[in-house]
């Protein structure tokens, strides 16, 4: 894992993954509504973490989406956005076929990496292909034939879902006042999305004297 957020400490991302996983695996996940939000999570134990990253979630079919990224960045830095996927109720046999990501204006795509994280086994890097839309700048990361399987593990208590992470790296080249960042995906029995399933905002500064503008 790379990017400004991770360079501040790998433990930050690990803790954020706990927040995202806890919310997406809960019974109250909104059915793909944008801006589902983690407002109540940004207090107490997670207050400091939420100052470093935004968190959101969504769902389509039986695939649950967590979305995290940097809440702030400086021009010239490299940052990473992390859509993550789990199976509702540990349902086996689900796969993600593609992920489409929209970064704030002024962000230049660097690369993508897909990681499978089972509950009781080592992480595995998965093959992928990334294409940048020349008009919108949106990045679509596509799996090989058959998709990326969401890992699940059988236990005495039933099936548990692991996670599938897509890391999208960008270099911040300019600062803009307006924009959006969001993510959507296709997968097993997932209906077509009518908009971003999860969204976020990144505040961008020039890195000179603390002056700059916000991008979201």
Q: Is residue 126 part of a domain?
A: yes
| Range(s) of the domain holding residue 149 | 59-205
Q: Is residue 110 part of a domain?
A: yes
Our count of domains for the chain comes to 1
Q: For the domain that residue 67 is a member of, what is the CATH number?
A: 2.60.40.740
> Residue 216: what pLDDT?
44
Which of the pair, 178 or 2, is modelled with greater confidence? 178
- Contact in structure between 108 and 170 (CB atoms under 8 Å): yes
Q: Is residue 99 part of a domain?
A: yes
Task: Kindly provide the b/e burial profile for residues 132-169, where b requires at least 16 CB atoms within 10 angstroms of the residue's own CB.
Answer: eeeeebbbbbbbeeebbbbbbeeeeeeebbbbbbbbbb
Q: How confident is the model at residue 176 (pLDDT cuts 50, 70, 90)?
A: confident
What is the per-residue pLDDT across 107-164, written as a single tens digit (0 to 9) for each?
999 999 999 999 989 999 999 999 999 999 999 999 999 999 999 998 877 889 999 9
- Contact in structure between 55 and 197 (CB atoms under 8 Å): no
DSSP state of 75: T
Q: Is residue 25 part of a domain?
A: no
Q: Is residue 47 part of a domain?
A: no
CA-wise closest residue to 201 among 184, 179, 185: 179
Angle at 15 between CA 14 and CA 19, to 5 degrees: 120
> pTM score, two decimals?
0.76
Q: Is residue 140 part of a domain?
A: yes
CB atoms within 10 A of CB 207: 15
What is the per-residue pLDDT across 42-89, written as a single tens digit (0 to 9) for each?
444 344 455 688 999 999 999 999 999 999 889 999 999 999 999 999
Is the pLDDT assigned to residue 2 strictly greater than 60?
no
Q: Is residue 211 part of a domain?
A: no
What is the per-residue pLDDT across 86-110, written as a single tens digit (0 to 9) for each?
999 999 999 999 999 999 989 999 9
Q: Is residue 13 part of a domain?
A: no
């Amino acid at each position: 894992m790379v990017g400004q957020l991770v360079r501040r400490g790998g433990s930050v991302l690990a803790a954020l993954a706990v927040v995202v996983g806890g919310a997406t695996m809960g019974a109250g996940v909104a059915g793909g509504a944008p801006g589902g939000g983690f407002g109540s999570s940004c207090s107490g134990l997670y207050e400091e973490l939420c100052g470093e990253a935004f968190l959101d979630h969504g769902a389509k079919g039986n695939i649950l989406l967590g979305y995290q990224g940097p809440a702030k960045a400086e021009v010239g830095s490299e940052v990473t956005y992390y859509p993550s996927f789990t199976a509702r109720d540990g349902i086996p046999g689900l796969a993600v076929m593609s992920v489409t990501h929209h970064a704030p204006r002024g962000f230049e795509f660097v690369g993508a990496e897909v990681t499978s994280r089972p509950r009781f086994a080592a992480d595995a890097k998965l093959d992928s292909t990334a294409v940048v839309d020349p008009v919108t700048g949106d990045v679509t990361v596509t799996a090989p034939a058959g998709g990326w399987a969401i890992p699940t593990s059988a236990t005495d208590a039933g099936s548990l879902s692991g996670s599938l992470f897509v890391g999208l790296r960008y270099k911040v080249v300019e600062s803009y006042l307006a924009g959006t960042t969001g993510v959507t995906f296709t997968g097993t029995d997932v209906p077509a999305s009518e908009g971003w399933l999860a969204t976020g905002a990144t505040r961008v500064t020039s890195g000179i004297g603390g002056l700059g503008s916000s991008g979201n």
